[in-house]
Amino acid sequence: MARFVITGTGTEIGKTVFAAGLCALTGGDYWKPVQTGTEDGTSDSKTVLHLSGARVHPPIYQFPQPLSPHRAAELAGETLDPAKLVPPTDVPLVAEGAGGVLVPITRDLLSADLFARWGMPVVLVCTTGLGTISHSLTAIEALRGRGCALHGLAFVGADNPDNIATIAAFSGARVLGRLPRLPRLDRASLLAAMTEHFDVEDFA
Ligand SMILES: Nc1ncnc2c1ncn2[C@@H]1O[C@H](COP(=O)(O)OP(=O)(O)OP(=O)(O)O)[C@@H](O)[C@H]1O
Ligand SMILES: C[C@H](N)[C@H](N)CCCCCC(=O)O
Ligand SMILES: [Mg+2]
């Protein structure tokens, strides 16, 4: 059964849009275990529901401040218990982390450590433009060094064949595809772009 963790080289790079596209492409459910930054009424779960219509499993924790989970939890006066972050079982799943691969969940636990505990294959979302070579290779090393199974790379942005080939060559990681920046982002255009640029069999 297809079950993936979506992480990225950083925050605001397109993980949620890609995750929504992957749900639409594969029929997977969506889960954002820890959502920060809810004070403005937005959430990745709402975005994914809007962009894919996927079944969405509610977050275990939600915190108002748009910060790393460890800090947003502290400022909300809550204790985040990683043992409660158990992925929904027996369903095809697309789980999205907060920010990049080494974002702290608590003062003792980084996101990559949590992904390794889950044992689910990880898809790393990378941008295509200047700066991505180092950001992507650093994130890949961090994931592997912490025992995560890297399924492959999903690029977001304008085509940059040499950046993509360079990251693939140094890391040996599989390039799953590239999602362009869509001028109009809606359910139909996202599914069309995912179908054009990714192979559903790579997520079987
Ligand atoms: N392929 C795309 N086409 C058009 N807009 C995009 C695309 N990918 C991302 N965006 C836009 O870029 C912004 C950041 O994207 P997104 O919310 O997916 O990032 P993220 O990595 O999930 O961030 P976070 O770390 O907060 O979870 C959003 O405004 C989103 O609509
Ligand atoms: C609120 C924001 N959109 C993200 N979900 C949280 C990003 C945390 C990043 C922490 C860091 O790497 O410094
Ligand atoms: Mg997101």
67 φ/ψ angles, rounded to the nearest 5 degrees: -135, 175
> pLDDT band at residue 157, thresholds of 50, 70 and 90?
very high
Distance of alpha carbon 153 from alpha carbon 157, whole angstroms = 13
Beta strands at 34-36 and 3-8: parallel, antiparallel or unpaired = unpaired
Q: Which atom of ligand 1 is nearest to the CA of 13?
A: 21
Place of tokens 């294959």: 121
ipTM confidence: 0.99
Quick one: how far is CA 55 from the chain centroid?
17
Q: Are 55 and 28 in contact (CB under 8 A)?
A: no
Cβ–ligand 2 contact at 73 (below 6 Å): no
Average pLDDT over residues 43-56: 98
98 is in an annotated binding site: yes
Cβ–ligand 2 contact at 66 (below 6 Å): yes
Percent of the chain with pLDDT strictly greater than 70: 100
Closest residue by Cα to residue 43 from 28, 21, 58: 58
> How many CB atoms sit inside 10 A of residue 32's CB?
28
Cβ–ligand 2 contact at 98 (below 6 Å): yes
Place of tokens 């996927």: 54
Catalytic center residues: 32
Statement: residue 170 has pLDDT above 90: yes
Q: What is the pTM of this model?
A: 0.98
Burial track 81-106 (b if 16+ CB lie within 10 A, e otherwise): ebeebebeeeebbbbbbbbbbebbbb
Amino acid 1: pLDDT: 75
- Give Cβ neighbours of residue 192 (< 8 Å, ≥ 6 apart): none
Kindly report the length of the chain: 204
Mark out the alpha helices in 53-199 (DSSP H runs).
69-75, 111-118, 132-145, 161-171, 187-197
The full set of domains in the chain, from first to last, is 3-203 (3.40.50.300)
Q: List C-alpha distances in Å: 142 to 87, 132, 159.
A: 22, 15, 25
- Give Cβ neighbours of residue 186 (< 8 Å, ≥ 6 apart): 51
